[in-house]
Amino acid sequence: MNILLDAMGGDHAPQAIVAGAVEAAKAYGVQISLVGKPDVIAAELKKYDTAGLNLPIVPASQVIEMDDKPATAVRAKQDSTLVVGCKMVKSGEAQAFVSAGNTGGALAAGILYIGRIKGILRPALITPFPSLKGATLILDVGANADVRPEYIQQFAIMGSVYAKYVIGIEQPTVRILSNGEEAGKGNQLVIAATTLLQATPGINFEGNIESKEIPTGLADVVVTDGFTGNIFVKTAETTARLMNYVINDEVRKSPIAMFGALLARNSLRRVRERMDDSHYGGAVLLGLSGLVVVAHGRSNPTAIRHAIRVAKQAIEQDIITKIQSVTELASEAEPVAAADPAAL
């Protein structure tokens, strides 16, 4: 197994990326090929004991920056880490590519140089979100700001496959994110997509879900457009960090509170771990014919290690082949027209 890692992508690259690669190589025993500027990567690797670890360097002289226009950059920067990584996945030299770099660039490079699974209209980013039942999978969380009802339908199919084979949920439930749980609530996209989802074979669709119900674990898979999903996830992440800050700030104001926190430190540590998004790794870009995992731009070494774990699990479960087989069956089924929201 060869997992490529973009050593130059992310707010804390290359330091945090290389550190995460070393942690992952020790934890999972897989080959992790670091893509980027060889001299920079080699200097970082010297900081660690890498004896017995399989951490080769793949040269790439360019980086697609966060402010680059993705569609233009992936064509102009042919020796960028994102382009080199995606081309190696396409050729079969690697089984997955992980990057904390430009999300739009990863999507553009993936579509251009790896290609979509036959029948898939648009790839989507899927990520787990902590809930009372463990985690809820949400897609799309940033790949497609504007979508059509048919995209949402395919997101539900791909999300169900991922939930079953990677997460281990035998019959995952699916809901669509809306501003009300009642049938008929939502904007035109939600209403039209609901008609398609209700008629889609092979998924367990249960209707709408409000954002406040996602942390309860009401659904195993939640589908939405990338604009809404991205805002939901980032708001939730920031709220969790705010709560952590407020709790720490209040505890420090009182010796009694500090003593209580000391007694409860193990429980508080477990709470922090359950709420820490770095432990959930990266978001898999479902719908490509090769495996790409996009980590958060601010990823620390722990987040990078878990993003590599996510890639490893997806490889082991052969998630690409499973999505291909399911989408081929779905494409053979009689299509269902989306409802005209104006007529409802």
Q: pLDDT tens, 219-232?
A: 999 999 999 999 99
Asked if domains 1-115 and 123-278+320-344 share a fold, the reply is yes
Confidence at residue 31, expressed as pLDDT on a 0 to 100 scale: 96
In percent, how much of the chain has pLDDT > 90? Answer: 67
Q: What is the pLDDT of residues 54-75, one digit of tens each?
A: 999 999 999 999 889 999 999 9
pLDDT(126) > 90: yes
Rounded percentage of the chain residues whose pLDDT exceeds 70: 92
pLDDT, residue 334, reads 44
Predicted confidence at residue 343, as pLDDT, reads 36
Report the range of poorest mean pLDDT among 19-23, 109-113, 161-165, 238-242: 238-242
Q: Among 3.30.1650.10, 1.25.40.10, 3.40.718.10, 3.40.50.620, name the CATH number for the domain at 123-278+320-344.
A: 3.40.718.10
CATH number listed for the domain at residues 1-115: 3.40.718.10
Q: Is the pLDDT of residue 341 over 70?
A: no
**Phi, psi dihedral angles at 180 (to 5 degrees):** -165, 150
pLDDT of residue 342: 38
When the pLDDT of each residue in the chain is averaged and rounded to a whole number, the result is 88
Q: Compute the half-sphere exposure of residue 311: CA atoms within 13 Å on the CB side of its CA.
A: 32
pLDDT of amino acid 261: 75
Placement of tokens 């708001």 in the chain: 235
User: Which pLDDT score, from 0 to 100, does residue 277 have?
Assistant: 63
Residue 278, pLDDT score = 64
pLDDT given for residue 45 in this prediction: 95
Length of the chain: 344
Q: Do the beta carbons of residue 220 and residue 136 sit within 8 Å?
A: yes
Confidence label for 337 from pLDDT (cuts 50, 70 and 90): very low
Q: What is the dihedral of CA 105, 154, 162, 314, to 10 degrees?
A: -40
Q: 162 Cβ partners below 8 Å, 6+ apart? A: 126, 137, 221, 284, 286, 319, 323
pLDDT of amino acid 274: 66
pLDDT tens, residue by residue, 248-289: 787 788 888 787 878 777 877 777 666 666 667 789 999 999
Residue extents of the structural domains in the chain: 1-115, 123-278+320-344
Residue range 153-170: average pLDDT?
A: 92
Amino acid identity of residue 257, one-letter, is A
